[in-house]
Structure 1
Amino acid sequence: MKLLPRGAMPACGCWHRSSPAGMPGRRLADSRNRAAAPPDRFTRGKPGHDGYAAWPHSAQATYIQAVPKRNFILLVVVCLSCLAAYAAREQAAPGRRFGEVLSLVESSYFERVNEDELVEAAVDAALGKLDEHSAYIHGDVRTDLEATLDQRFGGVGLELSIDEQFRVPVVASPVVNSPAWRAGVRVGDRIEAIDNEPTVGVPLRDIVARLRGPVGEKLVVQIATPTADVEATLDPGAGARHEAERRDVTLVREMIETQSVLGDRRTPAGGWDWMIEGVPGVGFVRIASFGERTASELSAAVDEIAATNDVRGVVIDLRGNPGGLLTAAVEVCDLFLDEGVIVHTRGRRSSDTDKATTLDARRASAGSKLPGVPAVVLVDGLTASAAEIVAACLQDAGRARVVGSRTFGKGTVQSILPLSDDRGLLKLTTSEYLRPSRAPIHRRSDDGDDTVWGVSPDAGYEVSPTTEVIARVASWRRLRDAAGPVPAAFVARGLPRDVDPILARGLEALVGDLGNEKETSRNDDHAPPSGE
C-alpha cells in the first residue's frame, strides 16, 4: 500500500509508501515558458511612436493604443479566474450536490448535527462502495496504523492480555529495555490502576490508549504482583491469585520500538534463540508483520542462524501475519533469492476500453542468504497480503515448501493519501499483485474454493488443526515469548514439535521422520512434566 510520509504518511493490508509529489495541487504558470515579445512589437521614445504599437505585418501603418502593463496583468488574472470558475462548475457538480445536502441537513434537521461526523460518515459510505479494503482512516485507527508500519510508538513497553478472573490487564511480557522492563515489571503482574483510574472492566484497547502518549510524559501504574506461584497452566488468566503485593510504579514514556521478527524462545538477556529447541541445526523465524525494519531484522536473524554449525534447514513462520508494507515483503523475498521475479503488480487501466494493463515485475537482486539450505514456510487462513507475497514467491521459485492451510486471499495494494487538513488519511486500493507465475492471489466475492486464489500448501503438506489446538498453541507461544524473570506458573512446557502440529509437519518436510532424530533440550526447565 502506498504510504506517504507523515504530514505529507500495514486487519490485513499491503501498503506502499510514496512522496506527496503526486498529490493534486494548483499549477502555476512558469514565466520561463512564456514567449518573449517580438522586439519590434512596441516602440517607445520616438516621435510619432510614443505610447503606440505598430503591427509589423501590416502593409499600411496602423496604430493602436498600448495597454498599460498593470491593466494587462489584471486582464490575464480575470481571464484565468473565469476559466477556473468554468472548470469548477463543470467538474464539481457532485461536490456541490453534497454541499447542498449537508447545508440542508444542518439547517433543517430537527436536531443539531455534528458536521465533521456527517462528513466522515459520508466518506466512509462512499469508500465502502469501492471495495472492502478502501477506507477513511482517522483517530485511533490512524495512530495504530502508523505505529504498526513504523514499528514505533510513545509508551511504556508492556504487552498485555486480560485476566478473565479479575477483569484487569495482566502483563504478558515487558518490552526489553523499555521503562517497564527497567522498573521491574514482570510477567503475570496485574495493572489495577493507571493514574489513579481503575482498570477493572475497561476494554484492552482503552487500556493501551491510556498507556501510550507523548514521549517524556509521566504516568503512575498500580501493579499487583501475585505473592505465590499458582499451578502451571497455558492460560495466563486462569488460577486463583487473590494474594498480591501492590505497589505504585512511576514510568516515563519513551519511544518504544516493536519487533516484527521473532525467534523460537527468549534468552535470559531478553533476546531470541533462533534455533528450534529439540531439533539440532534448524533455524526458526516468525514474521509477525511487515514494517519498516522487517527486512533488516530478518537479515540479522538469518546471519545469526548461518553462524551456527551445521545448519540443516530454516522454518519461516507466517501464520497469523496480516501483511504490511509491499516494499518490506519484496525485500524479505530478495534475501532468499538471487534472481527471478518476486511479484507482479497491475495498476489501473488507462481507459475503459483497455482490456488489460501492463504488469510491473519486481525482481530479485544478485546474492542470497543461506544458499542451498532447505526452507519451509508455515501459513494458515490468517496469512494475508504481504505475507502471501512471500509465501507465493518462495513457493514459485522452488526455494521453500509451503506447509499448513490455504491463506486468506488478499491480493490488492492500498495507497495511503493524506488529506489537506491532515485530519485523516484516505486508504485507497490502487493496484493488484500476482504471483511470479502470474496466478492471482486475491479472492473476489464470487470466488469459490475451487477457484485459484491465495497460497495453498504443497501437496501432502496440508494441516488444519482444530480450533482447540490452535488456541492451545497460541497460549503456549505467548508464554514462550515472555521476556525477563518468568514465574514458574508462566513457563511454557513442552518442545515445539510436540505442541505445534503445523510446525511438526514442517520439520518433517525438512529433515524427514523426526521420530528417528535424537531429541535434545537446551533448557531442562522447558522439559514437559511427567505425565504430560
Structure 2
Amino acid sequence: MPLRNIAVIFLAMIGALVCYRTASRNRHVGTLAQAMNLVVEHYVDEVDDRQLFEGAMVGMIDKLDSNSKYTPPEDLPQFQEAIDQEFPGIGIIVEFDNEAKRLRIKSPIPKLPAFRAGLKRGDIILQIDGHDTENKSLPECTKLIRGPEGSKVKLQVRRKSEKEPLSFDVVREKIPIESVKGDRHNAAGEWIYTLQDHPRLGYIRIITFGERTVDELKAALEKFGPGAQQIDGLILDLRGNPGGLLTAGVGVCDAFLDEGLIVSTRGRGKVELEAHKAHGDLSVPKSLPIVVLVDSYSASASEIVAACLQDHQRATIIGQRTYGKGTVQKVYMLEGNKSALRLTFATYWRPNNKDIHKRKGAKDSDDWGVRPDAGQEVVISKELREQLLEARLNRDLDVIDGVSEPPTKTETPKDGNGEKPPAIPVPEADPDEINPADVAKPIPVDPQLKRAVEFLLVKKS
C-alpha cells in the first residue's frame, strides 16, 4: 500500500477518535445537528442554516443567565467598540427629524472631524456618499457614515441660513467614547470637573468602565492640582452606570486606596480565583472626603467601586440601592474571531466577604446590592430621573455648542480650575439653526446630588 494512502487512513482514524471523544463529552451534539439538518431539508419554507445555528446559540445561552450572551458576526464590531471605547466615524450626535424625515445633527463634537469640517448644529443630512437619507433609519445612516479610518465620507446637508444644499468631505477618524465626564464644558469643549455653584467641590461622572476609564479618571483628578489642593471634597457619580470591565473597576478603586482588598472573584463551588488588592499609588490624599452617588441602575463594576470604598470607609454612599449584579463574564472568541460568547464564569465578593448578586427570587430584605450609608438613602421617582437625564444631556450638548455660554472665535476663557485651554475655532450660533427644544433649560433640582453637596459642605466646616 502506498505511503500516502497509509497517511490518509491514519489521519482519518485520528479525526474519528477526536469526534468520538467530543461527542462523548456531550451526547446531545449529534441530536442537535440531526435536528438542524431535518429543518433545513424538510421544513415547509426554505431555511438558512446560518439562521438556525444562531438561533440555537441564542436559545442555549439564554437558558443560563441574563448576563451570558452570544454575539453574532454582525453585532461583534459594536460589542468591541463598547469595550475599546472607540469607533471609526466623524464625531456627530444625530437624531431623527420627524418633519424632514431625515437625520438632523444635534451636535458636532468639538475637535473632531465633523466639527473641523464646518458641519453645524441643526443641519439636515440629505445625502451620505450619494445615498438619499429620506426615511432611512438611524442605524442605516450610521452604517453609511462610519467606515475605515482615514477614508472620506461626503455629506450633503440643508442649512436654514443657506438657499442651496451644502456639501462636506469629512475624513473619518477613531472617535473616542468618553467614559469619564464632568459637570459641564468650557468654550474649548473640555470638561470642567467642579460644580458650577460649588467650585471647591469636585464632580466626576463615570458612565461606563472600559479600556481607558482609569486613565481618563486619573487625568480628571490631575485637574485638581497636586494633592487635590483645589477642592475640598469629591463627588463620584456612578448613577446609571451599567458596569463594564472588572479591571477598570479595580483600577478606579486603586486610585483612592493605599492598601487592602478591592474585590475577589470565585468560580464554580465558590473557589477563589483572584484577589485584587490596592497597590498604594494614591491619586488623591486619604484626607479628601469622597461621596459616591449610586442608584438602582448602578451595576457590576459600579457596585465593585461603591462596595469597596464603603467597606474601607473611604467614601460615603448616597442615593439608592444598586442593581445587584455580582457576576463576572469572560469573552470567548468563536469562528476565528468572527463571533463571540460572553459567559458568566465567576461571582465577585466585596471586601467584607459578602456576595452582592441579586439571585432569582431574591427579596428586598435579602442582602444584595450596595445600600447607601445609614441616613443617606435618597429615593427619586422614575419621572424625575427621566427629567434629570434629559436636562443633563441638553446641558452637556448646549455648553459644547456655546449656545448657553457663547464665546467669541478667539476667546480662551479659563475653566473652573483656573487653566487656560488651547483656543479652537468655535462656530457662532445662528438663531435660525437652533431648535427651541435644544436651548439650555435649567436642570431640575437633583435631590441626590443636593444631599451629596450638603454632606461635603458639612465636612468642610
Q: Under TM normalisation by the shorter chain, which class is it? A: 0.7 to 0.9
Q: 1:94 is aligned with what amino acid? A: H
Which of 322, 336, 345 is residue 430 of structure 1 equivalent to? 345
Q: TM-score, normalised by structure 1?
A: 0.73
User: For residue 492 of structure 1, what is the aligned residue in structure 2?
Assistant: 440
Stretches of structure 1 that go unaligned for 5 or more consecutive residues are 1-68, 228-242, 350-355, 518-532
Deviation at 1:464, TM superposition (A): 2.2
User: For residue 262 of structure 2, what is the aligned residue in structure 1?
Assistant: 342
Give secondary structure in 2 for the equivalent of 1:342: strand
Which of 411, 419, 424 is residue 334 of structure 2 equivalent to? 419
Whether contact under 8 Å (1:172, 1:478) holds in the other structure is no
User: For residue 46 of structure 2, what is the aligned residue in structure 1?
Assistant: 112
Deviation at 1:197, TM superposition (A): 3.8
For the residues of structure 2 that align with 1:315 and 1:510, how far apart are their CA atoms?
9
Greater RCO (CA < 8 Å, at least 6 residues apart): 1
Taking a change above 3 Å as real, the CA distance of residues 186 and 389 of structure 1, as seen in their structure-2 partners, is farther
Whether contact under 8 Å (1:187, 1:485) holds in the other structure is no
User: For residue 176 of structure 2, what is the aligned residue in structure 1?
Assistant: 257
Give secondary structure in 1 for the equivalent of 2:224: helix
User: For residue 361 of structure 1, what is the aligned residue in structure 2?
Assistant: 275
Taking a change above 3 Å as real, the CA distance of residues 71 and 370 of structure 1, as seen in their structure-2 partners, is same
User: For residue 295 of structure 2, what is the aligned residue in structure 1?
Assistant: 380
Question: Are 1:213 and 2:161 counterparts?
Answer: no
User: For residue 285 of structure 1, what is the aligned residue in structure 2?
Assistant: 204
User: For residue 267 of structure 1, what is the aligned residue in structure 2?
Assistant: 186
Stretches of structure 2 that go unaligned for 5 or more consecutive residues are 404-428
Give secondary structure in 2 for the equivalent of 1:336: coil
Whether contact under 8 Å (1:186, 1:484) holds in the other structure is no
Q: 1:182 is aligned with what amino acid? A: R
Deviation at 1:286, TM superposition (A): 0.7
Q: 2:265 is aligned with what amino acid? A: T
Deviation at 1:343, TM superposition (A): 0.8
Whether contact under 8 Å (1:172, 1:479) holds in the other structure is no
Whether contact under 8 Å (2:89, 2:147) holds in the other structure is yes
Q: Is the radius of gyration larger for structure 1 or structure 2?
A: 1
For the residues of structure 2 that align with 1:410 and 1:305, how far apart are their CA atoms?
32
Tell me the alpha carbon deviations over residues 432-455 of structure 1, each in whole angstroms, 9 at most, x when there is no partner: 112111222211121121111111
Deviation at 1:282, TM superposition (A): 0.6
Deviation at 1:309, TM superposition (A): 4.7
Q: 1:111-260 alignment to 2 at 5 Å?
A: 111-163=45-97, 166=100, 168-227=102-161, 246-260=165-179
Whether contact under 8 Å (1:480, 1:492) holds in the other structure is yes
User: For residue 353 of structure 1, what is the aligned residue in structure 2?
Assistant: none
Tell me the alpha carbon deviations over residues 145-188 of structure 1, each in whole angstroms, 9 at most, x when there is no partner: 11111011111111233445555433343233211010122334
How many residues get paired? 424
Q: 1:127 is aligned with what amino acid? A: I
User: For residue 379 of structure 2, what is the aligned residue in structure 1?
Assistant: 464
For the residues of structure 2 that align with 1:168 and 1:72, how far apart are their CA atoms?
66
For the residues of structure 2 that align with 1:493 and 1:85, how far apart are their CA atoms?
65
Question: Are 1:400 and 2:315 counterparts?
Answer: yes
Q: TM-score, normalised by structure 2?
A: 0.84
For the residues of structure 2 that align with 1:193 and 1:70, how far apart are their CA atoms?
61
Deviation at 1:86, TM superposition (A): 4.4
Query: Alpha carbon RMSD of aligned pairs, Å?
Result: 2.9
Deviation at 1:484, TM superposition (A): 3.9
Deviation at 1:109, TM superposition (A): 1.6
Give secondary structure in 2 for the equivalent of 1:368: coil
Taking a change above 3 Å as real, the CA distance of residues 187 and 409 of structure 1, as seen in their structure-2 partners, is farther
Which of 28, 33, 45 is residue 99 of structure 1 equivalent to? 33
